[in-house]
């Protein structure tokens, strides 16, 4: 059984990987602040030329209303800002302020300067917000899957686990973890408002004091540097928090009962992390910022699964509720593992190969009830027609009925109208049909159709997945014209033969072929 040193080494390496992603964002933020500072400098130079006299800046001149030519130039600039806002992440408040400014006929030069300076801040923080959102999603996703990989690799076996979907990731990224109830988005916008207020204050005071151009620029740059440091501190802290959340999700998914706090011990380790190092807690007490990192800004600590010396307890993390497992070779790399168990289908794998020597039948029959191809006499967990596949399909059909974003994502991936996709979803998953029984029934869950729906959601459809959509559109249309489901299915299959294409697809994959 892997010991504490094994988990410590693996999880610290993952934390370091997360920290590197934070560094990447910090470098991006530095470039964004530099660009904003240059643009603000340029605007200050331009206005300085208009407002300054031999004695420097004039407050009375700054309070004067824009002349006609200046007002026209200002309105042109505001219109450009509004156009940019159509492609950028402006706040509703800023969009409204720009619209009001574009209609103003009386505005002072100082007000115009402040508005143009605020525009740079809005663009800056819009870019920072969107990039941080993407980075945190990346860290959470990577942390979740890598944690599962490390645990499964440590024991050499693994079991089926839930893939992350957009909703789960979004919830994790946007949920607050700190005591003040703020999430990363709240903190970004709060810092933006603080920066704008400080820059406006510095600019007004500089104009009143009549300082020279260099003094004004220096003061504004100093304030921008403070905000840049704040943003960098924010990303390192949020990266640590979202990584801790990803590990929490992993531990719960795999049934880990306890976790241990692990500090990176060196000359920079904080007192609180030193005190927490080695302490272990039940998963019910896992709380980011309290029993799990981050304990402070720039925190480098992490958590590891804690198993004591109970071998059976530790192995529980490597198998699912049914006890089913699959082999995870010690030399299997993370990219190989991810391609197999995340991008592929975990349930196609077992701990042993005993089923693969069994004779697999290839007699296929077409039945109207399921509106799909089904199989007789085929065995083996890797088989799309076996019991494992059936169980997977039943679970997936149930989950599809609860999904809220699948229709939009499939419409984007396929280029088919969203209303048509919704009609297909209702027909396959949501509605009951007259299938020859005494009462209306759902279609029987089908593994191949479940996998087609999953790939369409992921934006990685195979040819037969798109055929499925065209098949169902045509079949629904024929039923609406008065045909029975079975009649419509037979006619549609002559043009869009999903069953045949799906069978050929799985037949080409070695693991599904008769040995």
Q: Does 466 score more than 90 pLDDT? A: yes
In a domain, 291, yes or no: yes
Number of domains in the chain: 2
Question: Does residue 201 share a domain with residue 342?
Answer: yes
User: Domain span at residue 371?
Assistant: 354-512
Question: Does residue 127 share a domain with residue 23?
Answer: yes
Question: Does residue 332 share a domain with residue 235?
Answer: yes
In a domain, 92, yes or no: no
Q: Does 310 score more than 60 pLDDT? A: no
Q: How far is CA 370 from CA 244, 367, 441, in A?
A: 43, 6, 10
Residues 444-471: what's their mean pLDDT?
Answer: 90
Q: Does 10 score more than 90 pLDDT? A: no
In a domain, 89, yes or no: no
In a domain, 74, yes or no: no
Question: Does residue 480 share a domain with residue 364?
Answer: yes
Question: Does residue 475 share a domain with residue 404?
Answer: yes
In a domain, 305, yes or no: yes
Question: Does residue 17 share a domain with residue 161?
Answer: yes
Helix locations, 210-284, DSSP H:
213-254, 271-276
Q: Does 369 score more than 60 pLDDT? A: no
Q: Does 292 score more than 50 pLDDT? A: yes
Give 206's pLDDT tier (boundaries 50, 70, 90). Answer: confident
Residue 387's pLDDT is: 67
Pick the range with the lowest mean pLDDT from 123-137, 212-226, 294-308: 212-226
Distance between terminal CA atoms of the chain?
A: 35
Question: Does residue 170 share a domain with residue 125?
Answer: yes
The pair of three-digit structure tokens given for residue 452, joined into one six-digit string: 């087609």
Give 424's pLDDT tier (boundaries 50, 70, 90). Answer: very high
Q: Which of 323, 352, 381 is the last residue of a domain?
A: 352
Residue 5's pLDDT is: 83
Residue 368's pLDDT is: 30
Q: What is the pLDDT of residues 50-84, one digit of tens each?
A: 666 555 555 666 666 777 766 677 766 777 777 76
* Bridge partners for 56 per DSSP: 53
Pick the range with the lowest mean pLDDT from 24-28, 203-207, 441-445, 460-464: 203-207
Q: Which residue has the higher pLDDT, 514 or 401?
A: 401
The pair of three-digit structure tokens given for residue 126, joined into one six-digit string: 């819009």
436 close to 369: Cβ distance less than 8 angstroms: yes
Kindly report the average pLDDT of the chain as a whole number.
79
In a domain, 96, yes or no: no
Q: Is 464 exposed, middle or buried (0-12, 13-18, 19+ CB in 10 A)?
A: buried
Question: Does residue 359 share a domain with residue 327?
Answer: no
- Please provide residue 102's backbone torsions phi and psi, each rounded to the nearest 5 degrees: -65, -20
Question: Does residue 489 share a domain with residue 358?
Answer: yes
Question: Does residue 359 share a domain with residue 322?
Answer: no
Q: What is the rounded distance in angstroms from the CA atom of residue 371 to the CA atom of residue 379?
A: 22
Bridge-based pairing of strands 302-306 and 258-262 is antiparallel
In a domain, 87, yes or no: no
Q: What is the rounded distance in angstroms from the CA atom of residue 48 to the CA atom of residue 57?
A: 7
Question: Does residue 361 share a domain with residue 342?
Answer: no
Q: Which of 324, 352, 380 is the last residue of a domain?
A: 352
Q: What is the rounded distance in angstroms from the CA atom of residue 266 to the CA atom of residue 264?
A: 6
Question: Does residue 365 share a domain with residue 288?
Answer: no
Query: Alpha-carbon torsion 373, 376, 381, 383, what sign?
Result: negative
Q: What is the pLDDT of residues 84-101, one digit of tens each?
A: 666 566 677 777 777 777
Give 499's pLDDT tier (boundaries 50, 70, 90). Answer: confident
Q: Does 48 score more than 60 pLDDT? A: yes
Q: What is the rounded distance in angstroms from the CA atom of residue 332 to the CA atom of residue 149?
A: 10
Give 239's pLDDT tier (boundaries 50, 70, 90). Answer: very high
- Please provide residue 425's backbone torsions phi and psi, each rounded to the nearest 5 degrees: -60, -45
Residue 511's pLDDT is: 47
9-18, 212-221, 353-362 — most confident range? 9-18
Bridge-based pairing of strands 372-376 and 363-367 is antiparallel
In a domain, 72, yes or no: no
Residues 249-254: what's their mean pLDDT?
Answer: 90
- % of the chain surpassing 70 pLDDT: 77
152 close to 251: Cβ distance less than 8 angstroms: no
Residue 360's pLDDT is: 27
Q: Does 507 score more than 60 pLDDT? A: yes
Q: Which of 352, 385, 407 is the last residue of a domain?
A: 352
47-61, 108-122, 254-268, 459-473 — most confident range? 459-473
């Amino acid at each position: 059984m892997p010991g504490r040193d094994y988990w410590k080494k693996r999880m610290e390496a993952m934390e370091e990987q997360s920290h590197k992603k934070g560094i990447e964002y910090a470098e991006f933020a530095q470039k964004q602040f530099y660009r904003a500072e240059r643009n603000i400098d340029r605007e200050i130079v331009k206005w300085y030329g208009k407002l300054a006299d031999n004695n420097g800046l004039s407050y009375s001149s700054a309070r004067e209303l824009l002349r006609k030519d200046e007002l026209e130039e200002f309105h042109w600039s505001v219109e450009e800002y509004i156009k940019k806002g159509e492609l950028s992440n402006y706040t509703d408040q800023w969009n409204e302020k720009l619209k009001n400014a574009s209609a103003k006929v009386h505005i002072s030069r100082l007000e115009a300067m402040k508005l143009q300076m605020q525009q740079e801040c809005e663009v800056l923080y819009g870019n920072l917000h969107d990039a941080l959102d993407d980075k945190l999603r990346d860290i959470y996703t990577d942390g979740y899957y890598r944690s599962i990989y490390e645990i499964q690799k440590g024991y050499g076996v693994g079991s089926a686990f839930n893939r992350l979907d957009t909703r789960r990731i979004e919830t994790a990224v946007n949920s607050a973890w700190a005591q003040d109830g703020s999430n990363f988005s709240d903190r970004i916008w709060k810092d933006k408002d603080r920066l704008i207020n400080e820059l406006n204050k510095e600019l007004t005071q500089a104009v009143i004091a009549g300082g020279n151009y260099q003094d004004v620029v220096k003061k504004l740059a100093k304030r921008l540097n403070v905000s840049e440091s704040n943003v960098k501190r924010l990303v390192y802290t949020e990266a640590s928090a979202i990584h801790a959340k990803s590990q929490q999700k992993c531990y719960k998914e795999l049934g880990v009962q306890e976790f241990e706090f692990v500090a990176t011990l060196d000359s920079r380790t904080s007192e609180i992390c030193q005190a927490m190092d080695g302490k272990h807690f039940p998963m019910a007490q896992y709380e980011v910022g309290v029993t799990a990192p981050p304990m402070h800004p720039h925190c480098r600590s992490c958590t590891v699964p804690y198993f004591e010396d109970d071998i059976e307890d530790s192995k529980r993390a490597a198998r699912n509720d049914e006890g089913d497992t699959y082999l995870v070779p010690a030399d299997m790399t993370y990219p190989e593992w991810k391609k197999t168990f995340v991008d592929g289908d975990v349930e196609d794998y077992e701990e042993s190969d005993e089923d693969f020597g069994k004779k697999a039948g290839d007699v296929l029959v077409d039945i109207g009830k399921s509106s799909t191809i089904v199989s007789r006499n085929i065995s083996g967990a890797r088989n799309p027609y076996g019991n494992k596949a059936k169980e997977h399909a039943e679970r997936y059909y149930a989950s599809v009925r609860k999904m809220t974003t699948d229709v939009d994502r499939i419409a984007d991936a396929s280029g088919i109208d969203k209303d048509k996709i919704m009609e297909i979803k209702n027909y396959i998953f949501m509605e009951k049909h007259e299938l020859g029984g005494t009462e209306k029934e759902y279609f029987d869950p089908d593994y191949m159709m479940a996998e087609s729906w999953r790939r369409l959601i992921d934006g990685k459809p195979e040819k037969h997945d798109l055929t499925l959509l065209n098949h169902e559109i045509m079949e629904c249309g024929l039923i609406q014209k008065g045909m029975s489901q079975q009649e419509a299915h037979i006619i549609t299959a002559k043009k869009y033969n999903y069953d045949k294409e799906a069978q050929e697809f799985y037949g080409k994959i070695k693991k599904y072929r008769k040995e």
